Amino acid sequence: VTDDRPELTVLDTDECWRLLAAGGVGRVAMEAADGLVVMPVNFAVDAGVVVFRTTEGGLLGRAAEWGRTVAFEADELDHQLRQGWSVLVRGELRRVPDEDTGPLIEAVAPWARGERNVVGKITPSQVSGRRVGTVEGSL
């Protein structure tokens, strides 16, 4: 019996950043007071950090204010072809000072209604990624 499914391969750091560069939707995971949370965010990459917008006083907004270690994951997975990639970024989440958010506010327009003028940035301490299948670039 042969197994013709594609191999799972490890991505190098450059490839991880190349895949993240397109931005889109990723997920931020962190330990909250009542347990682990995983929340989708609309993100962009700016000068080697992952940035997203959130609400003042919300869970991510407060975490960014205080500075918290988080994990960020983005992926593109093609259900039909059964292949894709996943990148994991670990690092510290911090709030971007309001005076520096100008160009970032446009880059990461949130979907939902309401004020989301807190820009969180995740400064990576570790980046890793995996790919299933051989498709290059975006799927």
Q: Does 123 bind a copy of itself (CB under 8 A)?
A: no
Q: Could you tell me the CA-to-CA distances from 123 to 13, 82, 83, 100 in Å, in that order?
A: 14, 31, 28, 15
As measured in angstroms, the least distance from the Cβ of 90 to a copy of itself is: 5
Q: Which of residues 73-112 bind a copy of itself (CB under 8 A)?
A: 73, 75, 77, 79, 82-84, 86, 88, 90, 110-112
One of 17, 18, 29, 107 touching a copy of itself (CB under 8 A): 29
Among 62, 92, 133, 139, binds a copy of itself (CB under 8 A): 133
69 binds a copy of itself (CB under 8 A): yes
What's the gap between Cα 83 and its chain centre?
19
Q: DSSP labels for 33-55?
A: TTEEEEEEEEEEEETTEEEEEE-
Token look-up 């270690």 returns 69
